[in-house]
Structure 1
Amino acid sequence: MVRLFIVLLGITLLYQTGRTFVLKQEREIRNCTYGMLKQLFPDTFEKANNQYGLFYFTGSGASVQRCTGVVESGCVVLIHGLDEPGLIFEQLASELHRQGHPVLFFLYPDDQNIDASSQLLFNNLVPLSFAGPVVLVGHSMGGLVARHLLVDPGIDYARARVLGRVPEVSDLIMAGTPNHGAVLSRFRLFMEIREQYLLSVHHRWHWLSGFVDGTGAAGIDLLPQSQFMKHQNNLPFPENTNCHMIAGQIFPFPVNMPQHFQITGHQIPADLLPPESNFFLSMLDRVGLMIGDGLVSINSAVPLDVPVTLVKADHRRMLDNRFSGSLRVPPAIPVILDILEHRKQ
């Protein structure tokens, strides 16, 4: 058994190392496969498309209904991440609804390339009429979907906003977003299995579900060395939108990392730490920066010139509880509510 494990581990590492040199080609192959499957099973994909778009949170459990017509002022749009059917936002959505915010879920094929997801969000915003500015809240890859929507020249959200085709975005809140890529996206197979299980539990599973939501191009986009990540990080953050970052920390180190900070110029998070005379403790500080929330490092999450709030939680538990009925308040929720409260003032 040990030998088998070692062999499988070796094959996995060899594959992951080798694919680094052909990421662009692999992304194209995956997108082509997705296109072929759409042609082979048009009815299945058409039915699946009815599950994607913007949906009103009704305030009752996880129930939603498709959004049409006029959206009231104070709207918050929640955008989930890779291999996540949107359930992570249940507690946040309930609290926002309780405080009087119209809440929309953006559900999309979360394994397709990120720029296609941003375009889909744009396409779903256009037919609606918004009574006021909206706030975008993205968890994990959802933050990149929202950020790409606002700054990509191909989508040109700024021009569409001037023409009145889309609403003004007053705030972009990113929670656990890998702004510089996520190395662990190489091993997204385990997250895919989890997503398919959750879809089956909520009676949304189909034998083609693993392909309908994309063929894994998003996992390639999330890699630090991907073409998408290079393109994204060459673009500035939106000028007329207040941007906020919430990063998670599960390791006790770094001990002296401030809860609220912002880096500028060529700084990195390690520059914020006071000098540590003990070499061992200094190394632990740097390990803590690399571990971050367990899936996204603090180094990857923190962008330049954007206020950051650090919370003690892992990637998922910053917004969700492990067990239903728990009285624990996920630490990112009060941060988001505080940002919205300051926005009103």
Structure 2
Amino acid sequence: MKRPWWRRRWLWIIVGLPLLIWLLSVTVWTWWAEEHPAEERELRIQLHQLLQERFPEQMRLPDHRIGFVPQGGEGSAQRHPDVILIHGLDEPGDIWNDLIPELREAGVEPWEFRYPNDQAIDRSVDLLAERWSELPGDTPVVLVGHSMGGLVIRDFVTRLRHPEAASPAVEGPPVQGGILIGTPNHGSELARLRVWLGLREFVAQAQEEDFSLFAPLRSGTGAAKIDLRPGSQFLTDLNDRRWPEAIPIQLIGGMLGQPDAEIIEAVDAVSSELGEDQLPRTFETWWREVGEGLGDGVVPVSSLSLPEAPPPTLVPASHRGMLVRASPDDEIPPAIPHVLEILDEWEHP
């Protein structure tokens, strides 16, 4: 028996009205947030603080996911680190898995610094500063950062540990050098899509014993994505400060996709057929421009450079592929040999 028309109408109202309200709310919030990034950032920070105050146990990060974690093997906690590894936004925890064994084999003592990586970047830097005096000894250490981790390094060094024309605000080991891998020094538009990065971290944590419904909020409530946008106040302030001349810095970035042999042969064949000798050169220029715009798929090449640093070394890889194998049988990720070479040069100038 067919339902009366008035029941069908009420069904549409009951189901459709909440959906319409939700879509309208999302649209209004998105518009407001785009127009008021500073206010959105402050709201997200306050929300994170409120959750930490109201639910301290549920919001507390496990010990193994915050602070310094020695990675040099047995007894490494008693030795000073040669290198501190600092991960980026919404990192599930495996970004250094391929680099750490190579560092150990090269005789380098690696430690990780782990932090709530989705909070405002300056709050993560302040946490690094609070923990810095925990490092053993006063032997200089090299800081290696992936993605947003490079911004943590720059802010820590230029604002707190080695500020220009000011005394250090932090005691502890001096910084010997900085290696920034895939760091968006001028921002990344893809930071707006951080919800997908957060989902990756959420799935990774779901397999751990410390998983809870609060897990996605423990690392922050999204303030970092605002700091990562091109032209953000955080990046403007950071780029107004210069990296210290006495401390070396090196940049490594990725570029997706190089034309394979078949494409090159096809372009050469078309060039020969049409008698257009400049076609291969034009194609090469166009391909490179596209590649630089895409960069590693997250950070464009134009966002890597710093005036006080040498030009970035570019490797053919994606944002994570610079450091992480897609499968155990793959070759060593292409950024790792450059990291080892830089460390060796700094150790034996």
| Shared fold (TM-score, shorter chain, > 0.5) | yes
- The alpha-carbon deviation at position 112 of structure 1 amounts to 0.4
Which residue is equivalent to 1:320?
A: 324
* Mapped pair 1:53 → 2:83: no
Higher share in helix: 2
The 5 A counterparts of 1:38-49 are: 38-46=52-60, 48=62
Distance 1:84 1:47, change over 3 A: closer
Partner deviation per Cα, 1:98-133 (whole Å, 9 max, x = no partner): 222111111100000001111111111113323521
Equivalent in 79, 87, 91 of residue 94 of structure 2: 87
Equivalent of residue 99 in structure 1, options 80, 94, 106: 106
Aligned to 2:3: none
Whichever residue aligns with residue 183 of structure 2, its letter is T
Partner of 2:132: 125
What CA deviation, in whole Å up to 9, does each residue of 1:150-194 have, x standing for no partner? 012xx3544998698221111100000000000000001111000
Change (3 A) 1:312 1:161: farther
Cα 1:116–1:252 change in 2 (3 A) is: same
- How many equivalent residue pairs? 308
Structure 1 Cα separation of the partners of residues 131 and 55 of structure 2: 24
Q: CA deviation at 1:144?
A: 0.4
Between the aligned partners of 1:46 and 1:124, the Cα distance in structure 2 is 17
Matched, 1:234 2:240: yes
Corresponding residue of 2:266: none
Residue 225 and residue 16 in structure 1: after superposition, are their counterparts in 2 closer, same or farther (change >3 A)? farther
Aligned-partner Cα distance in 2 for 1:336–1:29: 38
Indicate which of 285, 288, 292 corresponds to 1:289: 292
3-state SS, counterpart of residue 105 of structure 1: strand
C-alpha contact 1:81 1:138 (8 A) present in aligned 2 = yes
Q: Residue in 1 aligned with 2:306?
A: 303
8 A contact 1:48–1:212 mirrored in 2: no
Q: 1:45, CA displacement in angstroms?
A: 3.1
Distance 1:161 1:336, change over 3 A: farther
| Match runs of 1:124-203 below 5 Å | 124-152=131-159, 155=160, 157-158=162-163, 165-203=171-209
Letter in 2 for 1:335: H
Task: Select between 307-316 and 15-24 the one with higher mean Cα deviation.
Answer: 15-24
Runs of 5+ unmatched residues, structure 2: 1-19, 260-277
Structure 1 length-normalised TM: 0.80
Partner of 1:251: 257
Look up the SS of the partner of 1:90 in the other structure.
coil
Q: Secondary structure at the match of 2:68?
A: strand
Q: C-alpha distance in 2, partners of 1:339/1:101?
A: 12
Q: Secondary structure at the match of 2:323?
A: coil
* Of 334, 339, 344, the match for 2:342: 339
Provide the aligned C-alpha RMSD in A.
3.1
Does the 8 Å contact 2:256/2:318 carry over to 1? Answer: yes
**Partner of 2:98: helix, strand, or coil?**
helix
> C-alpha distance in 1, partners of 2:180/2:102?
18
Find the aligned partners of 1:301 and 1:335 in 2 and give their Cα distance: 16
Q: C-alpha distance in 2, partners of 1:113/1:163?
A: 20
**Alpha-carbon distance in structure 1 between the residues aligned to 2:209 and 2:138:** 34
Among 45, 58, 69, the alignment partner of 1:31 is: 45
Task: Indicate if the aligned counterparts of 2:161 and 2:168 stay in contact, CA closer than 8 A.
Answer: no
Letter in 2 for 1:336: V
Q: Which is further off, 44-53 or 217-226?
A: 44-53
Alignment deviations for residues 218-269 of structure 1 (CA, whole Å, 9 cap, x no partner): 011000021111111111112221100001001338xxxxxxxxxxxxxxxx
Letter in 1 for 2:315: V
CA distance in 2, matches of 1:279, 1:12: 44
Contact 1:170 1:242 in 2 (8 A): yes
Residues in 1 aligned to 2:30 and 2:336: alpha-carbon distance in whole angstroms: 35
Alpha-carbon distance in 1 for matches of 2:155, 2:67: 17
Unaligned runs of 5+ in 1: 1-6, 254-274
